[in-house]
Amino acid sequence: MQTKATPPKVVLLDLRKRQAKETNYETGKVLCSMCTKPHIVAKKAHELFFESNLGDPRLFQETAQLEREVIAQLGNLLHQKSATGFIVSGGTEANMLALLTARNASNISSPEVVLPDSAHFSLQKACNLLNLKPVIASLDESYIVKPLEVEKLVNKNTIAIVGTAGTSELGTIDPIHKLSEIAVQHKVHLHVDAAFGGLIIPFLKTTYPFDFQLQGVSSMTVDPHKMGMSVIPGGGILFRNSEMLQYIKTETPYISAKSQYTFVGTRSGASIASVWAVFKTLGKAGFTEIVEQCVKNTGLLVKELKKYSLSLLCQPTLNIVSFRSNKNTNRLSETLWRKGWFVSYIPRYDCIRIIIMPHVKKKHVLKFIEVVKEIEML
Ligand code: 0PR
C-alpha cells in the first residue's frame, strides 16, 4: 500500500482506464465463458444491497427473505415447491455442499461417489476436500454417461451418484431419469449438476427429464451467475427437503442467527438481490426469449461450420458447439486467441468449444466464421 492518500476521483479515473483495457463481453468475442454480461437490473440491485451480509441473516432479514423467495422460485421451476437451499459462491460450492450432505447422511467409513467421466472438475475438488473416492463411469458415443456402468459401480460404499444436465465441455445432458431409477433402487443420493443447464433446459422447446420431478433426485446445482444473467458470485444449491440441511449445519453460537449451512461465512446479499431482480424482471417469458436466441445463434454457427466442412464433435443439445479444424485444432485455437477471439480448446477431445451466451449475437457468429475461414484458408 502506498503511504500517501489519493483522492477518490483520481483513483476512479485510474480504475476506469484499467477497466477499459479489461475483457468485455459486449465485443461478442468471449466464446469460452459460461458467464455473461449481467442484466442491467442485476447491476442496480447489486448496488442497492451491496452492504448486506447473509452470513448473519437475522441482521439482514429483508435479504434473507429475498433468498427464501429466490429459492422458492427455483424450486418451483425445478418441480419441487418445498425445496430448500441457498445462493452460494458458485457451482463449486454448491457441488461441495451436495456431496457433504450425502456423506454426512451416510455412515460409511470409506465413502465413494460415482462420477460421469464428463463431470465438472469441481466434483474432483469436492472429493479431495471431503475424502471421498471418485469412481468414474464412462460415456457412450453421444458423450453421456452409461447408466448400466453407473449401476455396476454402485456398491455398499457409494454415498452418491452424480449426473450432469449441461456438461461443461459439450453441453450434453446425462440420462438423469435412468440415474434416478438407480438412485431409488439402491437408496443412494443422486446429485444433478445443472450449474449451466438448470436455467436453460426448462426454457427449451424439447423437454428433458432432469430435475426433482424424478423421484431419485436429492439435490441440484443451478447457477444464476451462468445463464441466470446475474452477477458473480451467484451459484445455487437446492435440496429436495429441509431435513437434509441437518447434515450441513454448523452452530454459530455468538452470531445472531444460530447456524450456517454454507461453506462461505460472510455471504453477499447483493448477489441474492441481483438474482431476485433478474427473475422478477424477466420471468419465464424473458428467460425463454433469451434461451431461444442463444439456441438460434447456436444453430447458425452449426450451419456455417458444416458449410465449410468443419467437423462437429456432436450435435449440440444446448448452446455449446464443439468442432475440429481440418488441420490442427490446437493451433487454430491459439491463432483465434491471438486475434482476440476467446475460445476453449479441449485436449481430450481435440476440439474447440464455443459457448453461445446471450452476449454472442448473430453478427458475432458471422464475423467469427469469417475469421475461422481466413485462418483455415477456406
Ligand atoms: N458445474 C458445471 C457443470 C460447470 O460447468 C461449472 C463451471 C461448475 C460446476 C463450477 O462452477 P463455478 O465455476 O461457478 O464454481 N463451468 C465453467 C467452465 O468450467 C466455469 C467458467 C466460467 C470457466 C467462465 C471459465 C469462464 O470464463 O467452463
Answer whether residue 12 is part of any domain.
no
Q: Which of 182, 131, 185, 138 is closest to 161 using CA atoms?
A: 182
Same domain, 272 and 203: yes
CB 312 within 8 A of CB 323: yes
Please tell me the residue having the least CA distance from ligand 1 atom 26: 33
Same domain, 207 and 343: no
- Number of structural domains found in the chain: 2
For 7, other C-beta atoms within 10 Å of its C-beta total: 8
The Cα-based distances of 251 to 85, 130, 151, 228 in angstroms read 17, 19, 37, 31
Please tell me the residue having the least CA distance from ligand 1 atom 25: 33
Q: Is 359 in the pocket of ligand 1 (CB under 6 A)?
A: no
Q: For residues 371 and 301, what is the distance between their CA atoms, to the nearest angstrom?
A: 13
3-class DSSP state for residue 116?
A: strand
Question: Domain boundary residue among 245, 280, 315?
Answer: 280
CB 25 within 8 A of CB 37: yes
The Cα-based distances of 253 to 14, 55, 250, 259, 260 in angstroms read 43, 13, 9, 7, 10
Q: For residues 234 and 228, what is the distance between their CA atoms, to the nearest angstrom?
A: 9
Same domain, 336 and 251: no
Confidence (pLDDT) at 332: 97
Same domain, 31 and 145: no
Residues in the chain: 378
From first to last of its 378 residues, the chain has per-residue pLDDT tens of: 999 999 999 999 999 999 999 999 999 999 999 999 999 999 999 999 999 999 999 999 999 999 999 999 999 999 999 999 999 999 999 999 999 999 999 989 999 999 999 999 999 999 999 999 999 999 999 999 999 999 999 999 999 999 999 999 999 999 999 999 999 999 999 999 999 999 999 999 999 999 999 999 999 999 999 999 999 999 999 999 999 999 999 999 999 889 999 999 999 999 999 999 999 999 999 999 999 999 999 999 999 999 999 999 999 999 999 999 999 999 999 999 999 999 999 999 999 999 999 999 999 999 999 999 999 988
CATH code of the domain in which 130 resides: 3.40.640.10
Q: Is 32 in the pocket of ligand 1 (CB under 6 A)?
A: yes
Same domain, 152 and 297: no
Rounded to the nearest 5 degrees, what angle is found at the Cα of 17, between the Cα atoms of 12 and 22? 115
Please tell me the residue having the least CA distance from ligand 1 atom 27: 33
Please tell me the residue having the least CA distance from ligand 1 atom 8: 91
If one residue of 168, 199, 345, 354 were mutated to test the ligand 1 pocket, choosing by the most ligand atoms within 8 A of its CB, it would be 168
Q: For residues 95 and 192, what is the distance between their CA atoms, to the nearest angstrom?
A: 9
Q: Is 164 in the pocket of ligand 1 (CB under 6 A)?
A: yes
Answer whether residue 206 is part of any domain.
yes
Q: For residues 163 and 115, what is the distance between their CA atoms, to the nearest angstrom?
A: 7
Same domain, 173 and 259: yes
Q: Is 198 in the pocket of ligand 1 (CB under 6 A)?
A: no
Q: Is 365 in the pocket of ligand 1 (CB under 6 A)?
A: no
Q: Is 271 in the pocket of ligand 1 (CB under 6 A)?
A: no
Confidence (pLDDT) at 378: 86
Q: For residues 102 and 160, what is the distance between their CA atoms, to the nearest angstrom?
A: 6
| Amino acid, res. 128 | N
Please give the model's pTM, rounded to 2 decimal places. Answer: 0.98
Domain with 294 in it: 17-38+283-376
Q: Is 193 in the pocket of ligand 1 (CB under 6 A)?
A: yes
CATH code of the domain in which 311 resides: 3.90.1150.10
Q: What is the Å distance from ligand 1's center to 201 Cα?
A: 17
If one residue of 36, 118, 120, 176 were mutated to test the ligand 1 pocket, choosing by the most ligand atoms within 8 A of its CB, it would be 120
CB 66 within 8 A of CB 214: no
Confidence (pLDDT) at 52: 98
174-207 tens-digit pLDDT: 999 999 999 999 999 999 999 999 999 999 999 9
- What's the burial of 17, exposed, middle or buried (CB within 10 Å: 0-12/13-18/19+)? exposed
Same domain, 99 and 221: yes
Same domain, 22 and 50: no
Answer whether residue 5 is part of any domain.
no
For 62, other C-beta atoms within 10 Å of its C-beta total: 10
Q: Is 168 in the pocket of ligand 1 (CB under 6 A)?
A: yes
Please tell me the residue having the least CA distance from ligand 1 atom 17: 34
Residue 42 dihedral angles phi and psi, to the nearest 5°: -65, -40
Q: Is 90 in the pocket of ligand 1 (CB under 6 A)?
A: yes
Same domain, 30 and 55: no
Same domain, 96 and 63: yes
Q: Which atom of ligand 1 is nearest to the CA of 167?
A: 3
Q: What is the Å distance from ligand 1's center to 84 Cα?
A: 23
3-class DSSP state for residue 133?
A: strand
Confidence (pLDDT) at 188: 98
Same domain, 80 and 227: yes
Answer whether residue 84 is part of any domain.
yes
Confidence (pLDDT) at 142: 97
Q: What is the Å distance from ligand 1's center to 254 Cα?
A: 35
Any residues with CB less than 8 A from the CB of 97 and at least 6 apart, and which? 86, 88, 219, 237, 248, 261, 262, 263
Question: Domain boundary residue among 260, 280, 300?
Answer: 280
Q: Is 174 in the pocket of ligand 1 (CB under 6 A)?
A: no
Same domain, 120 and 171: yes
